[in-house]
């Protein structure tokens, strides 16, 4: 129920954010913002090599194992380089809506989104859905709304949003994980997390094509105002997910935990 209500609040916050940007800054800026955000959000599962789904799956089975530590280290040594490669590739292909002079802003914004996803996954793994939902709401709606209330320039706004989310989520991750204990990490458990994530990369690629492919193609031939309308319509379609998503988000960690403890009757 908490996750369902959070879904409603997040969707409401997104609509408020979009309306705020459109009213204050215009539809062109809204379209450019949504194009950047949707593109980088859709590829986050690949950048995290599936840790956004692997972390809650394994952590919920045994809270004592160092899966949080493993995920944090992988974020540093894998996600950050992959993010740089992604942005370089986007700029190399000269995709409309992405400009080389804002290279580092895209990096910061993308890392902020990735940090939000992995922090959300950590809290889900510990079955702390209230904490997970609070940080999801904070990163998806509250911080962007506050920033765009005071900032006029899109890229200054993206820089502030990315920086704030990155800092908040890293602190939230470290606090909930009780620090980062590198000495607890072992090769076998790291391999399990990576393998679990890599097996799901094809589905993340398909998700990227569905969520970001059409807006990217659209942006090459029409103005950002049309992109804004399309992305807003896509957000309406995603309203249906607030009914389905909470079921999977809540049940998956609990079922994994029950199976690991041998309580098959409860399952």
How crowded is residue 206: how many other Cβ atoms within 10 Å of its Cβ?
11
Domain that holds residue 34: 2-259
The structural domain count of the chain equals: 1
**Mean pLDDT across 87-95:** 93
- pLDDT at residue 144 greater than cutoff 50: yes
pLDDT of residue 254: 52
To which residue do tokens 């960690």 refer? 253
pLDDT of residue 13: 81
Q: Is residue 266 part of a domain?
A: no
Pick from 110-119, 141-150, 254-263: least confident: 254-263
Q: Is residue 212 part of a domain?
A: yes
Please report the sign of the dihedral spanned by the C-alpha atoms of residue 118, residue 39, residue 78, residue 201.
positive
Q: How confident is the model at residue 47 (pLDDT cuts 50, 70, 90)?
A: very high
- pLDDT at residue 227 greater than cutoff 90: no
pLDDT of residue 119: 96
Q: Mind listing the pLDDT tens digit for each residue in 152-210?
A: 899 999 999 999 999 999 999 999 999 898 887 888 888 888 888 888 889 888 888 87
Contacts of 240 (CB under 8 A, 6+ apart): none
Q: Is residue 264 part of a domain?
A: no
Q: Is residue 267 part of a domain?
A: no
Give the whole-angstrom CA distance, residue 211 versus residue 39.
Answer: 8
Q: Is residue 137 part of a domain?
A: yes
Q: Is residue 14 part of a domain?
A: yes
To which residue do tokens 């909930």 refer? 176
Q: Is residue 265 part of a domain?
A: no
């Amino acid at each position: 129920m908490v996750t369902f209500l959070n879904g409603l609040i997040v969707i409401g916050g997104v609509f408020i954010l979009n309306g705020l940007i459109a009213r204050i800054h215009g539809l062109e800026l809204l379209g450019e913002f949504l194009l950047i955000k949707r593109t980088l959000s859709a590829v986050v599962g690949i950048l995290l090599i599936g840790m956004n789904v692997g972390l809650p799956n394994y952590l919920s089975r045994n809270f004592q194992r160092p899966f949080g530590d493993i995920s944090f280290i992988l974020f540093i040594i894998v996600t950050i380089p992959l993010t740089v490669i992604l942005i370089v590739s986007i700029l190399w292909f000269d995709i409309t809506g992405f400009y080389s002079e804002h290279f580092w802003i895209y990096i910061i914004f993308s890392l902020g989104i990735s940090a939000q996803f992995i922090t959300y996954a950590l809290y889900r793994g510990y079955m702390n859905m209230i904490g997970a939902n609070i940080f999801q709401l904070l990163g998806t709606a509250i911080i962007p709304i506050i920033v765009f209330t005071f900032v006029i320039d899109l890229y200054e706004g993206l820089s502030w949003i990315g920086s704030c989310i990155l800092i908040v989520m890293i602190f939230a991750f470290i606090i909930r994980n009780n620090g980062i204990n590198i000495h607890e990490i072992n090769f076998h458990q790291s391999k399990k997390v990576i393998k679990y994530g890599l097996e799901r990369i094809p589905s993340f690629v398909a998700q990227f094509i569905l969520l970001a492919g059409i807006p990217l193609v659209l942006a090459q031939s029409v103005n950002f105002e049309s992109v804004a309308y399309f992305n807003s319509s896509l957000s309406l379609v995603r309203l249906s997910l607030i009914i389905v998503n909470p079921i999977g988000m809540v049940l998956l960690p609990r079922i994994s935990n029950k199976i690991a403890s041998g309580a098959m009757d409860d399952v």
